[in-house]
Amino acid sequence: MNNIVKPSKASIDEALPDVLMRLVSELHDVAYLIERIEPQLLELGGDELMMTNESMKVLQGIDLAVQKTRGLAEFVDTITSTIPDTWTVDVSTALSLVKLADMQKALASGLRHGHSQPLNKAAGDFDFF
pLDDT tens-digit profile of 66-116? 999 999 999 999 999 999 999 999 999 889 899 988 888 888 886 655 555
What is the Cα–Cα distance from 54 to 128, expressed in whole angstroms? 32
The reply to whether 6 falls in a domain is: no
**Domain assignment of residue 78, given as a range:** 15-109
**pTM, to two decimals:** 0.74
What is the Cα–Cα distance from 74 to 80, expressed in whole angstroms? 10
The reply to whether 117 falls in a domain is: no
What is the Cα–Cα distance from 45 to 109, expressed in whole angstroms? 40
The reply to whether 126 falls in a domain is: no
If one counts the domains in the chain, the total is 1
E-strand spans in 8-120? 13-15, 88-90
